[in-house]
Structure 1
Amino acid sequence: MKLKLILCLLGVLLFGKVNAGSPEGNDGGFEKVLIQMTGNDVPFDILTKGNLGDHRSIQPLIPIYVVLDSSSCSLEVYFEQAIGEVDITISQDGAVVYFSSENIQDSMQKTIQLNFEVSGDFFIEIEGENGAYACGQFGL
């Protein structure tokens, strides 16, 4: 399942910009962009028994990829593993334009359709029940 997700993501990254060699002004293009996500030092996973206060010397990997499809005005959120309850918030200039609570029990993809009339800079936040946090910025 993870291999399928990785291959899908590679396909998006390799073939995402179909109109790269097209003349300027071609509005029939198709473009997908990977949104750079940053996070805090709390990993997105279900807490287990044991020493939870150990110090991490490196930032944990974020098991979430977000891809912007500007041609359809949507976001594709890829969850690589089960991370439990998360809140997904998309805002523009501090105003929330999308909010959803999800229970991620397996690797999955969630598509978020944005309003075609909106444009500008947006901020996406994904917060786990255990305090894990990831965010990124994108523009339409």
Structure 2
Amino acid sequence: MLSAITANRWDFDAAAHLLVRAGFGGNPSEIQRTLALGPEKAVDSMVNVQPDDYPPPTWATPADGSDLRAQVQAAATPFEKQAAIKLLRQKFISEMKDLTRWWMTRMVNTPSPLVEKMTLFWHGHFA
């Protein structure tokens, strides 16, 4: 059975370990800040976080892509249809790359790494 870490075992390495397990690690100043909180407050600060207002990607607004789909449907020749489909695919690929960049940046810069690590875990589980 697990038990809380004792004060005499709470050191720089334990704080660093907590940051790795509950997030994506930390630099020496973040580890020192976590160490100064003590084990209970450090865990509490990771679990009880305020929602952040990290802005979504600019293209993440509800858009249906109907303009590109309309071009596919309105294509008069197979060549035009193929070109319109290519544009639609390029838009999708570009947005997926933007989403990946946005999410990686969010994970690195978040004030709540545990939330992001759990999001990544469940995404890997269900996606």
**TM-score per shorter chain, which class?**
under 0.3
Higher Cα Rg, which structure = 2
Normalization by structure 1: what TM-score?
0.22
Q: Larger % of strand: which?
A: 1
TM-score, with structure 2 as normaliser: 0.23
Q: When you count helix as a share of all residues, which structure comes out higher?
A: 2
